[in-house]
Each structure stands twice: as structure tokens, then as C-alpha cells.
């Protein structure tokens, strides 16, 4: 959620910090601040509430702050209201001033995460003479570092490791010490943080887009590690304060991939990038027309021995799991259970070594999904991560990892990462089916060849966007929208409803069509929009019948179906067609009109498509 950036080198730090923060806006925030210094006693701190341009205006786009070492932060309020006082950075002294001002403190810091025992820590520090000016948990962490630093007359690394032992919760901490004016110290537990170097400068950030403009050479700091960052070099330490080493990783995707490239919004750009994201992911898993999962570490023997699959995820990734459940069970005949990560981690689910737990996460840092992964491993299950970010925590901690190749996704509402995850799960389902001999070689060839047509078929769906743009103008003032379907169509409905509600703020719900008569149909009234997904031939007539029941109660109907299924037009007011394909792969096509409909509806309502209210791209706190 919150965004952290840092820089130390020989250039002016503030403009670099502001640029990095602007590239992290998609994470969600309500205030921002930065702290800079250059060998002098005082640290200059500037904070602002609201959008980042307020902070930029306060600092003349950073030009008014000449210092060459600094940290910056965009805050998503958890403890304490959005305000100047609660905005980061925080200090070990008694105040940062009403708008920031010069810090009078030995330690200045920013933080992403939640410190669960901050009340206990605050009480301890109050007894030792510290005063608190904010309502944040972060202030307690910064002051605790200062307490150990002074009490034991130790260096920053030792003071930080002592603090880490006392803190419960999650954190990515970036700290500056008065006595070390050109260095930044960081610590991490369960919250993302990367460090990059280039020539005689060093950078740190919560996510790669913030520093990709300056370097592609990055370190993914491990859990419960500390790093000491100076100009052009980084040293790493474990929780005992002993120096350790980490491998450097090169980020391969183009920096331009994190730019709008002429599109009005990142979301629209990413919708149009889906053919490429799907094709790239497919190409990474297909070798000479056959599926090859060796890079993920999945052996044929392991797959043949599976007795159960658990798919664990949050949000749209959970919807991918819902679709995959139908496909895996139908093709491979393996029982599949799909769990919300936020529930899975608290349930006592028996597991055996022949259970595969698949954790799906775009960022690879989702807090609940990471916790669920750890629970699964503790219970003896094999784990597979499907993630989009190389070197992310979930990728590092899973037994096996399958990377999607969607590239950076900036819009809060996921589109291309969802589609890449979907095709990756289809590949996995087909390979499971082949190895378990539940499909023939001819069926295997047909399915793999048909998957190869999906990118071009997505492109054909995108060519019909003008009709959806027109229809969205008719529904922009809707109060309630219901998405219904059966089987795979129900899984598609779940994602369509989430897209609509999260960026248009229109109340929408997805229902298995057969459940309408079990209470939900009481909500249908005149002009309520009901969107039916009608792509599964065996379930078509039943869903059409459910839609007719809604129509008889005054509902306005839209249908999504496959080319040639013109009977739908006799039952609904507006029909969208997608190309025909094997019905197992229909979600990859039918979701596209729903993404576009949500996008254009949000635009027609005059909303901030890429940064919807109250939401963040990566949910890195529980």
C-alpha cells in the first residue's frame, strides 16, 4: 500500500524522490512527505496531504531542497487520520513542525506496514521520557530505534536489529541517522522493498517502477534483513547483525512499459496489452508446441501423484482460481478447492504431501496470500506460486514458481495480470490432464493449439470496443448491476462485477444464476441492469431462463455470448459477441468486454480510473 523511495548519491535527491513517488501513486495514498540531508546537522522534512502535486508545489518540484541524500513516502492511513502530523517521515524528536520543517532528531524514518504492538512500545518509550506528536504506529518504531541507538551506544545496524526483535507485525523501514549523513538504513519483514545501484548512486523503493528510470540492477532484500545503503554500494545484515550477501537481479522489462504510451489511462493501455501478456506467458510455457513446466520445478512424477489441489488467492486472483477450478476438475479429474487467502490462513485444513497449494498473486507480496503460503508449507503441502514479479517474496518462499509475463501493471484494477494468470492456469490444467491420462494425445494437441489462438481472439474482441463505449453511456447512472452465469460463466461474472464496482463505484454483485430464486431476485426492480454470461453451451438455456425471470420483473438485460449464438438477441436488449473457442478458454475472451464496460462507465462518470478511492494496487498489510 504505502510507497517508499530513497536515494543517496551526488545528485539533488528531492526531484528523484518526487519522481519515484509519482511512479508509486498507483499503490494508493492520502498524504506524502520527504526528508533530505547532506552532511549538515538538521534534516529538512516536508509533508503534504492529498495528491502528490501538493508536496511538489511545496518544494518547487524538489528544486528548493539541494541535499543529496533522502527518503520519501506516500502514506495510506491505518493508524491516525490523514494529516500533516501523521504523514511520514517521522522523527525520534518531539515534532517535525506543522508542515515538516527541520528535524531536530537523530533518527528520521518512513514505514510501510502495520506494527501490531505499537501501543505496548509507545508505553515503554513514554516511561523513558519520549514524547509523541502523532497517532501513527511508525513514530513508535522510529523512536524505539533511537532508544536502542542511544542506550547501548551501538551503531545503526545493531539498533535496528534490536528493534526488529521487539516489533510484531509487518514493515519496510527506511531510516536516516544524523551521525551517518550520506547513508540510508533499511529493514524488512513481510512488506516489499527493493534496492538498486548505478555508478556512484543507490536507490530504494517499494516497487521497481519507482527506480527503473535510474537502474535495472536491483537487490530484493530478504525477510528479517537489514541493509546499509551508501553511494553506489549496499551491505546486508541478518538479524544477528552479521554481514551477509544477496544476489543482484536485472529487471528485464522496458521502462516504457510503465508509461501510458499515449493512452488516456493506464487501465486502457493494460487492457490493450492483454494479447501480448497472454502470448508471452504462453510462449514461456510452450516449447515446440508442447507444455514444458521444468522452469517452474514441476516434475511429471509430482503431478501424477497429486490427490488434491488447493488454490489460494485474493480479489481478481481468486476469480482466476474459481475459473481454474472448473477447468482442472473437468480436464484432469483432480478435486480442487478454491480458498480466499484471508480465510485459509485461519482455518485448520488438513493437508498431505500429495496436496498442491497454488498461491496466485500479481505482486507476489500480497500479505494474506503470503501468510497462507507459509501456513500451507507448515502443514506439509507442496506449494506453487503463480506470480508476475520476479524475486518477490511469495516467489522466493514457494517450493515451485511459475511466472506470468504481463510486465508492470500500474492501474489498481487488474486486467492483463488477470489474463496472464488465467492462461497459466489453463496450461497447468492441460498438463495435469495429459500426465494423468484423462485426455488423449489428440485432445492435448487440440487444446494446446487452441490456446495459441487466444491472443489474436482477444485482439478481435478489443476491436468491438466502440459499441461498449456507447452502451456504457446508457448505464453510467445505474444504481445496481447484477452479473449472472453458471459454471465457468459464474467465474467470469465474479470478475466482471468486481471490475465494475471497484472503478465505477456502482453497486454490483455476481451470482450463480441458479441462486437467483433463493433470495436475490427480490432485489430486481424496474430498469435494474442484469448482465448474463452465456458462453457454456450445456448451461445456456438454463441461464436464459433465469434472465427471462429477471426481465419479467422489469430488469434491463445485457448478454455476452459467442459468435453465431444469435438466439440471445431475442431475449436481451444488448448483446456482445466474442469469438468461438474451446469452452474451457472462454473466460480469456468473455472478460474483455466486462473490463471495457467497467472502464468506459468509470470514464463517463468522471472518476479517476487508475486510482479508485480507498483502494491500493498491492495489499501488503492484513
Q: What gap in Å lies between CA 354 and CA 322, rounded to an integer?
A: 21
Instruction: Report the alpha-carbon angle 443-448-453, nearest 5.
Output: 125
Mean of pLDDT over the chain: 90
- pLDDT at position 102 is 44
**Domain(s) of CATH 3.60.20.10: residues in the chain:** 3-251
- pLDDT at position 41 is 59
Lowest mean pLDDT among 34-38, 425-429, 594-598: 34-38
Contact assessment for residue 71 and residue 5, using Cβ atoms and an 8 Å cutoff: yes
pLDDT tens readout for residues 349-405: 888 889 999 999 998 988 899 999 999 999 999 999 999 988 888 999 999 999 999
Question: In the numeric block, which cell numbers belong to residue 260?
Answer: 501510458
Q: What gap in Å lies between CA 433 and CA 435, rounded to an integer?
A: 6
Contact assessment for residue 139 and residue 119, using Cβ atoms and an 8 Å cutoff: no
Lowest mean pLDDT among 101-105, 135-139, 521-525, 569-573: 101-105
**Domain(s) of CATH 3.40.50.10490: residues in the chain:** 257-452, 453-609
Contact assessment for residue 619 and residue 367, using Cβ atoms and an 8 Å cutoff: yes
Region 243-258: mean pLDDT is 80
| Closest to 594 in 3D by CA, of 487, 489, 514 | 489
Decide: residue 307, CB within 10 A, 0-12 exposed, 13-18 middle, 19+ buried: exposed
Q: What's the order of all strands across the beta sheet hosting 3-8? A: 100-103, 43-49, 31-37, 69-75, 3-8, 201-205, 194-198, 217-220, 249-250
Whether 2 sits among the annotated catalytic residues: the reply is yes
Q: Give the DSSP H/E element, type plus range, for residue 225.
A: strand 225-230
- pLDDT at position 96 is 65
When the candidates are 3.40.605.10, 3.40.50.10490, 1.20.120.1760, 1.10.150.450, the CATH number that belongs to 453-609 is 3.40.50.10490
| Closest to 275 in 3D by CA, of 414, 426, 449, 416 | 416
Q: What gap in Å lies between CA 348 and CA 304, rounded to an integer?
A: 26
Instruction: Determine which one of 47, 143, 465, 617 is catalytic.
Output: 617
Lowest mean pLDDT among 292-301, 397-406, 438-447, 548-557: 548-557
Question: In the numeric block, which cell numbers belong to residue 611?
Answer: 486510482
Q: Which residue reads 481478481 in cell numbers?
A: 316
**Which residues, listed in sequence order, are joined to residue 308 by a DSSP beta bridge?**
355
CATH number of 3-251: 3.60.20.10
DSSP 265-298: SHHHHHHHTHHHHHHHHHHHHEETTEE--GGGT-
Question: In the numeric block, which cell numbers belong to residue 278?
Answer: 497472454
Residue 42, phi-psi category: left (phi > 0), alpha (psi -120 to 50), beta (remainder) = beta
- pLDDT at position 286 is 94
pLDDT tens readout for residues 145-191: 999 999 999 999 999 999 999 999 889 999 999 999 899 999 999 88
**Which residues, listed in sequence order, are joined to residue 202 by a DSSP beta bridge?**
8, 197
Alpha-carbon torsion, ordered 64, 67, 68, 72, to 10 deg: -70
Tell me the whole-structure pTM to 2 decimals.
0.79
- pLDDT at position 622 is 56
The separation between the first and the last C-alpha atoms of the chain, rounded to the nearest angstrom, is: 11
Per-residue DSSP letter, 538: G
Give the pLDDT band of residue 100 (cuts 50, 70, 90): very low
Residues 6+ apart with CB under 8 A from 323: 422, 425, 488, 491, 492, 587
CATH number of 257-452: 3.40.50.10490
Q: What gap in Å lies between CA 360 and CA 291, rounded to an integer?
A: 20
Instruction: Determine which one of 2, 69, 314, 550 is catalytic.
Output: 2
Instruction: For 383, list phi and psi in degrees, rounded to 5.
Output: -125, 140
| Closest to 592 in 3D by CA, of 484, 483, 499, 485 | 499
Region 576-581: mean pLDDT is 95
- pLDDT at position 40 is 63
**Which residues, listed in sequence order, are joined to residue 91 by a DSSP beta bridge?**
108
Q: Is the pLDDT of residue 620 over 60?
A: no
Question: In the numeric block, which cell numbers belong to residue 19?
Answer: 519522481
Pairwise pLDDT comparison (256 vs 117), residue with the higher score? 117
Beta strands (DSSP E) in 471-512 are 480-485, 507-512
Region 219-243: mean pLDDT is 94
Contact assessment for residue 450 and residue 585, using Cβ atoms and an 8 Å cutoff: yes
Amino acid at each position: 500500500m504505502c510507497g517508499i523511495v530513497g536515494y543517496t548519491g551526488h545528485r539533488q535527491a528531492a526531484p528523484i524522490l518526487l519522481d519515484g513517488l509519482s511512479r508509486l501513486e498507483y499503490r494508493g495514498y492520502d498524504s506524502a512527505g520527504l526528508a533530505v540531508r547532506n552532511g549538515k546537522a538538521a534534516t529538512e522534512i516536508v509533508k503534504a496531504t492529498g495528491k502528490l502535486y501538493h508536496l511538489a508545489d511545496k518544494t518547487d518540484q524538489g528544486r528548493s531542497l539541494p541535499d543529496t541524500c533522502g527518503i520519501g513516502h506516500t502514506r495510506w492511513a491505518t493508524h491516525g487520520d490523514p494529516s500533516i502530523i501523521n504523514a511520514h517521515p517521522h522523527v525520534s524528536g518531539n515534532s517535525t513542525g506543522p508542515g515538516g520543517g527541520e528535524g531536530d532528531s537523530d533518527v528520521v524514518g518512513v514505514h510501510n506496514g502495520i506494527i501490531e504492538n505499537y501501543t505496548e512500545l509507545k508505553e515503554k518509550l513514554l516511561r523513558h521520557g519520549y514524547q509523541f506528536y502523532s497517532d501513527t504506529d511508525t513514530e513508535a518504531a522510529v523512536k524505539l530505534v533511537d532508544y536502542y541507538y542511544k542506550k547501548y551506544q551501538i551503531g545503526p545496524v545493531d539498533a535496528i536489529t534490536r528493534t526488529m526483535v521487539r516489533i510484531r507485525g509487518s514493515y519496510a523501514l527506511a531510516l536516516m541517522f544524523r551521525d551517518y549523513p550520506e547513508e540510508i538504513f533499511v529493514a524488512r519483514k513481510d512488506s516489499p522493498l527493493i534496492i538498486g545501484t548505478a555508478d556512484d548512486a543507490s536507490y530504494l523503493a517499494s516497487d521497481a517502477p519507482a527506480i527503473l528510470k535510474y537502474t535495472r540492477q536491483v537487490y530484493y532484500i530478504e525477510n528479517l534483513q537489514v541493509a546499509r545503503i551508501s553511494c553506489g554500494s549496499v551491505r546486508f545484515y541478518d538479524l544477528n547483525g552479521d554481514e551477509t550477501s544477496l544476489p543482484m537481479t536485472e529487471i528485464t522489462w522496458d521502462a516504457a512499459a510503465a508509461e501510458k504510451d499515449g493512452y488516456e489511462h493506464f487501465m486502457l493501455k493494460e487492457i490493450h496489452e492483454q494479447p501480448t501478456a497472454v502470448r508471452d506467458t504462453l510462449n514461456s510455457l510452450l516449447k515446440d508446441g508442447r507444455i514444458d513446466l521444468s522452469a517452474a520445478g514441476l516434475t511429471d512424477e509430482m503431478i501424477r501423484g497429486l490427490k488434491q489441489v488447493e488454490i489460494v488467492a485474493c480479489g481478481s486472483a481468486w476469480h482466476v482460481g474459481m475459473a481454474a477450478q472448473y477447468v482442472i476438475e473437468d480436464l484432469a479429474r483432480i478435486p480442487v478447492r478454491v480458498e480466499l487467502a484471508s480465510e485459509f490462513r485461519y482455518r485448520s485444513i488438513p493437508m498431505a504431501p500429495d496436496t498442491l497449494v497454488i498461491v496466485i498473486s500479481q505482486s507476489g507480496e500480497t500479505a494474506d496470500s503470503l501468510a497462507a503460503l507459509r501456513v500451507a508449507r507448515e502443514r506439509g503441502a507442496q506449494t506453487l506460486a503463480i506470480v508476475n514479479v520476479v524475486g518477490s517474496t511469495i516467489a522466493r518462499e514457494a517450493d515451485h514458481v511459475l511466472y506470468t509475463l504481463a510486465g508492470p501493471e500500474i492501474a489498481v484494477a487488474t486486467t492483463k495480470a488477470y489474463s496472464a494468470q488465467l492462461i497459466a492456469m489453463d496450461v497447468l490444467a492441460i498438463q495435469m490432464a495429459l500426465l494423468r491420462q484423462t485426455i488423449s494425445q489428440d485432445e492435448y494437441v487440440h487444446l494446446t493449439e487452441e490456446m495459441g489462438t487466444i491472443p489474436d481472439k482477444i485482439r478481435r474482441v478489443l476491436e468491438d470496443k466502440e459499441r461498449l463505449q456507447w452502451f456504457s453511456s446508457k448505464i453510467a447512472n445505474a444504481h445496481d448491476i447484477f452479473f449472472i452465469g453458471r459454471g465457468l460463466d459464474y467465474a467470469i461474472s465474479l470478475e466482471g462485477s468486481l471490475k465494475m464496482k471497484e472503478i465505477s463505484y456502482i453497486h454490483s454483485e455476481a451470482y450463480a444464476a441458479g441462486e437467483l430464486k433463493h433470495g436475490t431476485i427480490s432485489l430486481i426492480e424496474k430498469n435494474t441492469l442484469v448482465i448474463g454470461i452465456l458462453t457454456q453451451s450445456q448451461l445456456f438455456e438454463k441461464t436464459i431462463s433465469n434472465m427471462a425471470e429477471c426481465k419479467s420483473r422489469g430488469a434491463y438485460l445485457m448478454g455476452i455470448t459467442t459468435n453465431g449464438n444469435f438466439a440471445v438477441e431475442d431475449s436481451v436488449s444488448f448483446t456482445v459477441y466474442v469469438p468461438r473457442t474451446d469452452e474451457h478458454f472462454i473466460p480469456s475472451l468473455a472478460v474483455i468486454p466486462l473490463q471495457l464496460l467497467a472502464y468506459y462507465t468509470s470514464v463517463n462518470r468522471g472518476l479517476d480510473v487508475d486510482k479508485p478511492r480507498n483502494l491500493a494496487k498491492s495489499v501488503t498489510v492484513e
